[in-house]
Structure 1
Amino acid sequence: MKNILVFSLFILCYISLNAQPLNKVTPELMLRIAEEQLAEKDYYRALEWYEQYYDEVRDKSIAYKIANMHYMLRDYNKAESWYKRVVNKDKDGYFPDAQLQLARSQKALGNYDEAILSYQDFLSAESTDHNIVMIARKELEGAQMARTMKPVEGISVANAGKEVNTAMSESGVAIAPDGTLYFASMQAEKEIVIDGKQGNYFARLFSATRQPDGTFSEPRELDNEVNREGYHVGSVAITPDGNDIYFTRAGLEGNILSESKIFTATKTGSTWGAATELANINGSYIAKHPCIGELYGRQVMFFSANIEGGKGGYDIYYATRNSDGTFELPTNVGEVVNTLGDEETPSYRDGKLYFSSNGQAGLGGFDVFVSEWNGVNFSTPKNMGKDINSSCDDRFFVLDKEGYQGYLVSNRIGTTSLKSKTCCDDIFAVNIERITANLTALTLEKDKALQGATIQLVDISANTTNSQTNGEGNEFKFPLMLDHEYKIIASKKGYYNDTLVFNTLSLKKSQVFEKKLNLRPVPPPPPPVEETVVTANEPIRLNNIYYNYDDDKILQDAEEDLGYLKTLLDQYPDMVIELSSHTDARGNDAYNMALSQRRAESAKQWLVQRGVAEARIKPVGYGESVILNQCANGVKCSDEEHRFNRRTEFKIIAGPTSIVIKKIKKKDGTVVEDRPNVPTPPPAPRAVDVPKKEKQKQAGKVAFSWDKKYIEFGSFKKGLKKSHTYNFTNTGTEDVEIDLVSACDCTTTEWTRGVIKPGGKGKIDIVFDSAKKEEPDEVIDVDVFLKNKDPKTKASMVERVQFHYKLTK
């Protein structure tokens, strides 16, 4: 786990062997030759001899060695086959890691279902290595995640092409500020023979320019100040100003990294100056994969190293860059990023640290992750998802300055490989769909197009404003910035503004935001008003307080006038009034006299329940004694004409000798009392439900039990009617009688008349007419006024039920 390839098969080499004919080679000689080739790091030759030796002796320890070599060379098909052979033969558990390596091979092949079973078999066996168990659990989690993970939308990954990729491995990519691609390669198309004529078998740094068609110019090798004979040079990073380059010079023993240090060089004209080893960064450990970033407002270098005391194998560190170009001592970025496994190949852009890890839950091998810096800490790393990641190794992920093009290095299927399909790394081009955000705003009046409006788009994040006026239409279009907050203000002369707030945060794909703004017309100014002085004993008619024939129930229209009368009583707190009620001439005189008295009492009760003292109101019923039109006894009249006589009036009988009432002169010349914005007073406090035990103690108390006190009518089209019956039980110890049921003018009510004994039942029937409502969404109160009096306040007791509606178009 800890011996990680720096270039992943930069060297595929062999040493010449004067082999004898196979039929003369003994098993002992086969083994000796294999071990000699392995000592020379000639893995492919060693494998040939080990496999021949295994065919002769069937030694499971040799099978395990062969499996490990195939896995190291990233031939996962052969590794899986040999690990299966070991697992099947290893009945005594001599090679416990074979099961884990089998799972890793299957995962690298993308066979996640098989890998999950192999991981579970490994974890079910007892293991004394706690770290290995923890790593295996994380790898199992990754396999389970990969099984259902879908490719990330808007991202494409493709081989960068033969101009930069060869049959050998490429590595260490970086993007210069001008977009030039830097990378490490041996630029070889066949095996390098160490004892042959080809002398330079070390990786060097190259640069290439990406063409508009996606191809690359011919790679240009950097000069000898950077590329040094006898070292593998790679893992390049360039400062944002393009003036300094950082890179590694490494040594390999076969395919295993034995040493690596980070160097720097400064640009002189068009070439790089002499390279120097970085102080403080390098030490008695392997330092690799430098990149330049920023933390705490200062430039830093991120790099990977196996410094003693780290979290796992290779961890990511950072070192702060001083103004003179030197660096401070390294600091581990912490366990949020670093794991028991290896973290490598960091790159940094706009507060985001990209890196590869085999210790996080991934799709297989090394996966690319991203962690965001919030000014204090790094966030929990997030897997970059399928396509960026594969079941194989995916490393060296970088993005250009705009963030829509980049590269990664991978041995996934699709590489130009010299040996197995996954032996060698290629550079892959990453293209991220450019996410755009746009706004289409529509101005409307009652859901119909409103032309001639102005839209102001306020960018709250950038503190800027953009404005458009459309005199011929109602559509407005604006481009938007990603991850910004906005406010839209729609305006037009003669209309109230409408405002909306929205944002473009965390968009995963391009989006057009469609917003509708409804403007309400400003009402015309109120007509001119004049003031009239009303003196004591002068009757004032309350124009809207009418009654149905033979009924003392206050109609919904009456509540506005009664509310106005309450306002006058509040305005003149010492005023005492006579509240008189009149009937029409139908019916006998005595009955009408009693009916009018009940009506006057009903109007008084309405006011008392809303806080007016009883002593300030004298209810008087005049019956049919004061008829205002010709509709006296025996005269045939329409119901509307009779209704004109069914009225309520008031006059001052104590307190101020006169009061001022504002009058509005209408266009037709008529004059009415001004009652602008007079709110309907709140209902009197309702009766409180008494607990059962308290009811037994408190004789003579009023209590109700409702089947439902709140009804949800739900959503329906305006114009429809809804009805409901509220059922109740008199659970108190006193007779109750309903005096009045009041709701909005959109609701008619009916109720159980007469006395309801304790234990008796009653009901309230309502019919809601939505055509009379402008509010699209409201809770309506239905107040039930009782003839029963509160023993303390002497006011009528009140119960309340409710219903809710929501109107659709």
Structure 2
Amino acid sequence: MMKKIHILLALLILTNLGGYAQEKPDRLVTKANEKYEEYSFKPAIDIFKKVLDKGYSSADLLKKLGNSYYYNADYEDAANTYKRLVDEYPDDVTPEYYFRYAQSLKTIEEYEASNEVMAKFTESTSDDLRASTYKEERDYLAEIKKNSGRYNVAPFQYNSPYSDFAPTFYKEGLLFSSDRDTGNFARYRHTWNSKDFLDLYKVNADSASNNLVVKLGDHVNTRLHESTTATNEEGTVLYFTRNNFKEGKYIKDEKGIIRLKIFRASLNDEGVWGDIEELPFNSDDYSVAHPALSPDGKTLYFASDMPGTLGESDIFRVAIKEDGSFGKPENLGNAINTEARETFPYVTKENILYFSSDGHPGLGGLDIFATKIEDDQVQGKVLNVGEPVNGRYDDFTFIFDEATKKGYFASNRSEGQGADDIYSFIETKPLVLDCQQRVSGTVRDKISNEVLVGATVKVIDEDNNEVMSAITDSEGKYSLLLDCDQGNFVRALTEGYIPAEEYLGKSDGSPKTVDFFLERNTVSAGFGDDLAKLLQLSTIYFDFDKYNIRKDSEIEVEKVIAAMEKYPSLKIKVNSHTDSRGKDAYNLWLSQKRAESTVNYMIQKGISPDRLQSEGYGETKLINRCANGVKCSDKEHQLNRRSEFIILE
């Protein structure tokens, strides 16, 4: 990216290099330092090179020369200069120079060398967000590759041999910034990169006629820079970036730098932008630039190096009140901002924040990244959007319409027509911002293997906050979507059971099955409790007038056996009951034989006889009105034909 749109723009200054070759190195260095401090990088480069040609070198000179190349996106010369700095003055290399050296190498596709330098960067600093991010994402190239190939990119048909960038959706077309036809004389060129100043243009993006490229009026455009815009949905309010300019004069800070400010204009009935006002949180001491509006128009995002900035420039936001006034600017925090450059925000209708950064792992220079904004918080992971939108040069001012899947961005890639070019694209596959993992399974009783209907399955994050929950259905099944970019605890619980839990770490999003087998809370079971109820046993059936256990009832007795094997101190008494039909004495005898038959079955399965007792009660303990002589249905009588497994100890 031509650094005319960097968060700090160059001081306007005339430069005559004609006499430099005759001057002494120390005088040249003094002049070069003056230009450098004024952000006049192009003249500074010319002077520093002359000094080096005279055989004079120092760590400070190489730092400033490398930075001058770096800020003008001349990454090959920047890498060569930083290499010389590292080789010749290793004791004077601070972490920031390792970082810029690594970024420069990455831009010229020397990735292995870049990784080696980044390793030195991480060793030399312990509290830098870029270092911690690099350690966590050492396979960032694989991650970028996974996100690549989702766009069909083509050059914008209205590009010029000059600099064109900062597209913004405007009615049926676009606004953009360009220095194609400023009408300025050389005295209005700035010395950051010796290019003309920028003005704002509008175009019908789908037209085949270049005649529809129109410069906005003089109320907006001045003899200094105007760039990066944002408009409300109706296209009647315009936010734009401009040099600090007042009453026809540019304003410098105490260092002589012309800062950037955001201005707001309204479209009047004649179709002219008027009522231009600068925003109240602008300052003569720092820059505020690159506006972007939230979908509802109630929040303005922007880039700034104001106090509270983490790096060279950060992304901020500020509330727009109903009366048009503003709240207090808020830094978006270290989930987005690093110690490097975060800039050029754009928010889509689905609240996806796109921005450019050279602090997050990328392919070189500024890359475009995306993250989800939800409930005023950054919800998703910050992801590199991948190739071919991103490349080894600077990629920036990205805009996108989810409805049409169309968008635009700018880049200074070498195959472009001008210094910076706008590119159109169509998204063919969406970027998955929230890595989600489908976790499903069943919740069952550990002893009986019965499904537990209505059990709760919760997701607890690593900070012990409940994220979500689900209830098991009629088949004991549940299904949840987890954030696979973080670790989570999945916990199953239901009344009367001891909760069970499994930890799931970060994953690649592959589906996972987690079945839970819950143990009953035996603390609540004691003397006299019916194990059949605790285990939710089905009715144990016997054939008519017989007392041997039927095959279809064996499974229910096996559940009791499993419980007794699980708890060796458990002792039970098997009680058998009949309904009131038949003679009382016979029912008493039959129930006793059935109770004994159940105990014998359990003994044959290995349960010690001294842990078992049995007793038949016949029809003496009916649980409903169906006594002798009372007319009842078969279903009512069946309730009395039951077996109990009473806990004795």
TM over 0.5: yes
Distance 2:63 2:307 in 1: 30
Match of 2:518 in 1: none
Distance 1:174 1:319 in 2: 20
Contact 2:149 2:386 in 1 (8 A): no
CA distance change for structure 1 residues 88 and 314 in 2, over 3 Å: closer, same or farther?
Answer: closer
Indicate whether 1:250 and 2:243 are aligned: yes
CA distance change for structure 1 residues 143 and 351 in 2, over 3 Å: closer, same or farther?
Answer: same
Distance 1:430 1:256 in 2: 40
| Post-superposition offset of 1:118 | 1.1
| Post-superposition offset of 1:182 | 0.6
Q: Secondary structure at the match of 1:274?
A: strand
Match of 1:208 in 2: 203
| Post-superposition offset of 1:355 | 1.9
Match of 1:276 in 2: 276
Indicate whether 1:220 and 2:214 are aligned: yes
Indicate whether 1:288 and 2:283 are aligned: no
Q: Secondary structure at the match of 1:323?
A: coil
Normalising by structure 1, we get a TM-score of: 0.49
Distance 1:37 1:341 in 2: 23
Kindly provide the amino acid, as one letter, of the partner of residue 389 in structure 1.
Answer: N
Distance 2:133 2:565 in 1: 58
Match of 1:181 in 2: 174
Contact 2:200 2:215 in 1 (8 A): yes
Indicate whether 1:266 and 2:266 are aligned: yes
Distance 1:406 1:277 in 2: 29
Task: Select which of 522, 538, 550 maps to 1:610.
Answer: 550
| Post-superposition offset of 1:191 | 11
Cα shift readout 1:595-643 (whole Å, capped 9, x = no counterpart): xxxxxxxxx5xx62139xxxxxxxxxxxxxxxxxxxxxxxxxxxxxxxx
CA distance change for structure 1 residues 681 and 287 in 2, over 3 Å: closer, same or farther?
Answer: same
Kindly provide the amino acid, as one letter, of the partner of residue 364 in structure 2.
Answer: G
Contact 1:143 1:364 in 2 (8 A): no
| Post-superposition offset of 1:74 | 1.4
CA distance change for structure 1 residues 316 and 790 in 2, over 3 Å: closer, same or farther?
Answer: same
Distance 1:286 1:9 in 2: 9
Q: Secondary structure at the match of 1:57?
A: coil
| Post-superposition offset of 1:257 | 6.7
Cα shift readout 1:618-677 (whole Å, capped 9, x = no counterpart): xxxxxxxxxxxxxxxxxxxxxxxxxxxxxxxxxxxxxxxxxxxxxxxxxxxxxxxxxxxx
Contact 1:112 1:144 in 2 (8 A): no
Between 1 and 2, higher relative CO (CA 8 Å, sep ≥ 6) is seen in 2
Cα shift readout 1:292-344 (whole Å, capped 9, x = no counterpart): 114xx772222222332344443323233233333333333344333333332
CA distance change for structure 1 residues 375 and 246 in 2, over 3 Å: closer, same or farther?
Answer: same
Distance 1:798 1:212 in 2: 90
Distance 1:692 1:332 in 2: 58
Match of 2:316 in 1: 317
Match of 1:194 in 2: 187
| Post-superposition offset of 1:362 | 2.9
Q: Which has the higher helix share?
A: 2
| Post-superposition offset of 1:409 | 1.9
Give aligned pairs, total: 461
Kindly provide the amino acid, as one letter, of the partner of residue 235 in structure 1.
Answer: T
**Aligned pairs (5 A) from 1:730-749:** none
Distance 1:144 1:683 in 2: 53
Contact 1:310 1:332 in 2 (8 A): yes
Cα shift readout 1:147-177 (whole Å, capped 9, x = no counterpart): 663252331233324x23433x333321113
| Post-superposition offset of 1:289 | 1.2
Where structure 2 has 5 or more consecutive residues not aligned to the other structure, the ranges are 245-249, 431-478, 484-538, 572-592, 606-649
Match of 1:413 in 2: 414
Match of 1:159 in 2: 155
| Post-superposition offset of 1:432 | 0.9
Q: Secondary structure at the match of 2:119?
A: helix
Indicate whether 1:427 and 2:422 are aligned: yes
Indicate whether 1:77 and 2:76 are aligned: yes
**Aligned pairs (5 A) from 1:301-700:** 301-349=300-348, 350-380=350-380, 381-400=382-401, 402-417=403-418, 424-433=419-428, 569=544, 608-610=548-550, 685-686=557-558, 688=561
Match of 1:50 in 2: 48
**Aligned pairs (5 A) from 1:778-789:** none
Q: Once the two structures are aligned, what percentage of the paired residues are identical?
A: 23
Task: Select which of 147, 165, 171 maps to 2:165.
Answer: 171
Distance 1:200 1:341 in 2: 25
Q: Secondary structure at the match of 1:48?
A: helix
Where structure 1 has 5 or more consecutive residues not aligned to the other structure, the ranges are 418-423, 436-501, 507-562, 570-575, 577-603, 612-679, 699-787, 801-809
CA distance change for structure 1 residues 188 and 88 in 2, over 3 Å: closer, same or farther?
Answer: farther
Cα shift readout 1:434-455 (whole Å, capped 9, x = no counterpart): 78xxxxxxxxxxxxxxxxxxxx
RMSD over aligned CA atoms reads 4.7
CA distance change for structure 1 residues 434 and 70 in 2, over 3 Å: closer, same or farther?
Answer: closer
Q: Secondary structure at the match of 2:84?
A: helix
Kindly provide the amino acid, as one letter, of the partner of residue 336 in structure 2.
Answer: V
Contact 1:6 1:256 in 2 (8 A): no
Distance 1:403 1:219 in 2: 23
Distance 1:793 1:503 in 2: 42
Cα shift readout 1:375-425 (whole Å, capped 9, x = no counterpart): 3522142322232322332221111362511111222332335xxxxxx43
Contact 1:10 1:186 in 2 (8 A): no
Distance 2:385 2:327 in 1: 31
CA distance change for structure 1 residues 278 and 327 in 2, over 3 Å: closer, same or farther?
Answer: farther
Kindly provide the amino acid, as one letter, of the partner of residue 400 in structure 1.
Answer: D
Q: Which has the higher strand share?
A: 1
Distance 1:796 1:33 in 2: 103
Q: Secondary structure at the match of 1:303?
A: strand
Contact 1:313 1:340 in 2 (8 A): yes
CA distance change for structure 1 residues 329 and 97 in 2, over 3 Å: closer, same or farther?
Answer: closer
Normalising by structure 2, we get a TM-score of: 0.60
CA distance change for structure 1 residues 141 and 83 in 2, over 3 Å: closer, same or farther?
Answer: farther
Contact 1:609 1:795 in 2 (8 A): no
Distance 1:224 1:212 in 2: 25
Distance 1:792 1:375 in 2: 65
Distance 2:565 2:328 in 1: 74
Distance 1:116 1:28 in 2: 36
Kindly provide the amino acid, as one letter, of the partner of residue 405 in structure 2.
Answer: Y
Q: Secondary structure at the match of 2:165?
A: strand
CA distance change for structure 1 residues 240 and 30 in 2, over 3 Å: closer, same or farther?
Answer: same
Distance 1:117 1:47 in 2: 27
Distance 1:7 1:373 in 2: 24
Distance 2:377 2:160 in 1: 38
Cα shift readout 1:238-290 (whole Å, capped 9, x = no counterpart): 11111211112214989997322222222224623314224444345422111
CA distance change for structure 1 residues 19 and 312 in 2, over 3 Å: closer, same or farther?
Answer: closer
Distance 2:385 2:103 in 1: 20
Contact 1:303 1:317 in 2 (8 A): yes
Q: Secondary structure at the match of 2:557?
A: coil
CA distance change for structure 1 residues 298 and 202 in 2, over 3 Å: closer, same or farther?
Answer: closer
Contact 1:225 1:275 in 2 (8 A): no
Q: Secondary structure at the match of 2:274?
A: coil
Contact 1:5 1:257 in 2 (8 A): no
| Post-superposition offset of 1:192 | 7.0
Please say which structure displays the higher CA radius of gyration.
1
